[in-house]
Amino acid sequence: MNRGRLSIGRVAWIAENTFREAVRQRLLLMLVITAAALGGSALVFHHRSFGAPEPEFLLDAGFGILTFFGSILAIVTTVQLFFSEIERRTVLTVLAKPVWRSEFILGKLGGVLLLLLAFCASGIVSLASLLWWRQAALAATDSGTFENGCRISYAAVIAGGMVQWLRLGVLAAITLSVASYARTSLFALVSGFFALVICNLQNLACQSYRLADLPWIRGAARLVGGILPDFEIYNMVDRVKAGGPLSAGYLGGITLYSLVYISVFGGLAIYCFRHREL
């Protein structure tokens, strides 16, 4: 039996269609407006920054908002876009054509990644503009403010945005793998948020297990800890605050780490979806 080859063109069409559908959702608009409003409010509340310089406070707030709303977007949009295909039965008309289930899943994941890229890019452009404006204003009022070299590097901010995109991409892949076998969207949604919490807390859990006396407990903890990614490594705000650009080694390592997890969970989603009865 000729099983045909995977077509990048079909994957790209499904991804484009998924992206176009996602940008028309009200949820995205709501999240962007709320994120922008919170970002703007950071300007008002910067004097409550417990002594931190204003650019650093803006950087903290900006990346915090990007990660928080991006995580909601990654989970909710992935679940919504996947289950809307099932509920509308468009999945049947697409898969009745010579389209492989793997192409469908890769297209869905690609569309969500594009959406998250657009979200992170717009967030980073807004944050960089805000920082440029405030740093220029601070330099104009007090020329000695940046003499000690603590001016924030825009290259580091952009690289930080890319790191956040990778984090959200990993989260979307995990959520899609759950959605591909889940019977209800609620289950997939709740599981996605559970995964987010586990990924954020697992660094703490591993630290405490590393203190265990028995070596097999340490080994088991390391093994279990490897199943889901550790989101702590994506927290790079302190590196950005340091002023210099993020090192190529750090960026290369984190990109590889993310690609491995995206591939593993994407592969799991394909496997589950291939065995799913539609």
Partner 1 sequence: MNAIELAGITKDFRSGAGAARIRALDGISLGIEAGEVTALLGPNGSGKSTLLKIILGLLAPTAGDCRVFGVPSGCVEARRAVGYLPETPDFYPHLTGFETVRFYARMGGLTRAGLPERVWAAIAKVGLVAEAHRRIGSYSQGMRQRIGLAQALVTDPWLLILDEPTSGIDPAGAAEIGALICRLKAEGRTVLLSSHQLEQVEEVCDRAVMLDHGRQVAAGRIDELARRAGGIMLGIESLPENAWGELRAWLEARGGRLHDTRMNRTGLRRVFLETVQRGRSGEICPP
Q: Which helix (H) or strand (E) element contains residue 81?
A: helix 54-88
140 counts as binding partner 1 under rule CB under 8 A: no
Alpha-carbon 6 to chain mean position = 26
Nearest approach in angstroms of CB 172 to partner 1 is 20
**Among residues 241 and 276, whose Cβ is nearest to partner 1?**
276
Q: Does 26 bind partner 1 (CB under 8 A)?
A: no
How far is the C-alpha of 156 from the C-alpha of 218, rounded, in Å? Answer: 35
Q: How far apart are alpha carbons 217 and 125 in whole angstroms?
A: 45
Only segment of 19-27, 143-151, 189-197, 251-259 that touches partner 1 (CB under 8 A): 19-27
- Contacts of partner 1 in 70-109 (CB under 8 A): 88-90, 92-99
Q: Which is nearer to partner 1, 43 or 95 (CB)?
A: 95
Q: How far is CA 151 from CA 52, 55, 123, 180, 217, in A?
A: 13, 8, 20, 46, 45
Q: How far is CA 117 from CA 132, 140, 143, in A?
A: 22, 34, 36
Name which of 99, 79, 74 is nearest 13 in CA terms. Answer: 99
The tokens describing 155, both together, are 């290259």
Among 30, 204, 227, 278, which residue sits at the site for partner 1 (rule: CB under 8 A)?
278
* CB of residue 17 to partner 1, shortest distance in Å: 6
Q: Which stretch binds partner 1 (CB under 8 A): 11-19, 58-66, 71-79, 154-162?
A: 11-19
48 binds partner 1 per the rule CB under 8 A: no
Chain-centre distance for alpha carbon 246: 18
Shortest Cβ distance from residue 159 to partner 1 (Å)? 33
Say how many residues touch partner 1, by CB under 8 A: 25
Please report whether residue 27 would count as binding partner 1 according to CB under 8 A.
no
In the complex with partner 1, which residue's Cβ is closer, 16 or 232? 16
Q: Are 150 and 243 in contact (CB under 8 A)?
A: yes
**Per rule CB under 8 A, is residue 29 in the interface with partner 1?**
no
The nearer residue to partner 1, 2 or 208, going by C-beta atoms, is 2
Q: Minimal distance in Å, beta carbon 10 to partner 1?
A: 6
Least distance to partner 1 from the beta carbon of 184, Å? 12
* 118 touches partner 1 (CB under 8 A): no
On the CB side of 34, CA atoms within 13 Å amount to 13
Q: Mapping DSSP to helix (H, G, I), strand (E, B) and coil, where does residue 192 land?
A: helix
Instruction: Report the site for partner 1 in 154-213 (rule: CB under 8 A).
Output: none
Sign of torsion, CA 210 167 60 56?
positive
Distance CA 254, CA 249 (A): 8
Which residues of the shown chain bind partner 1 in the complex (CB under 8 A)? 1-4, 9-10, 13-14, 17, 20-21, 24, 88-90, 92-99, 277-278
